[in-house]
Amino acid sequence: MTDRVAIHLLGGQWIVLDLSVLQDALHAGAALFGHPATQAKSEVEPLLKAADLAQLLNVPQSRLESAARQGRIPAVRVGRYVRFRRSEVERALST
């Protein structure tokens, strides 16, 4: 069984797509517009929890979360959760 995504359209209609089709379309769109984060599906960087990134950076988790809230380091919101891409954080900290 494949993973599927239901998308609600304006006007009350729904479409259902295989997740792989949606991911392919997103990558193709990003590549079309020259988005720098365009990567092959197999190279998609995992998101890190604050505790995991804090351990990698050897800083307290509370300090990391505070820096993310203040916009000093890039973070990704996934619902109510905050996650981090290691490469983006490293790039931000190196400047």
Model confidence, pTM? 0.54
Nearest by Cα to 93 from 67, 65, 66: 67
Return the CA Rg of the chain. Answer: 17
- Residue boundaries of the structural domains of the chain: 4-43, 50-94
pLDDT in tens, 7-45: 788 888 888 877 777 677 776 666 656 666 555 545 678
pLDDT in tens, 34-81: 666 555 545 678 899 999 999 999 999 999 999 999 999 999 888 888
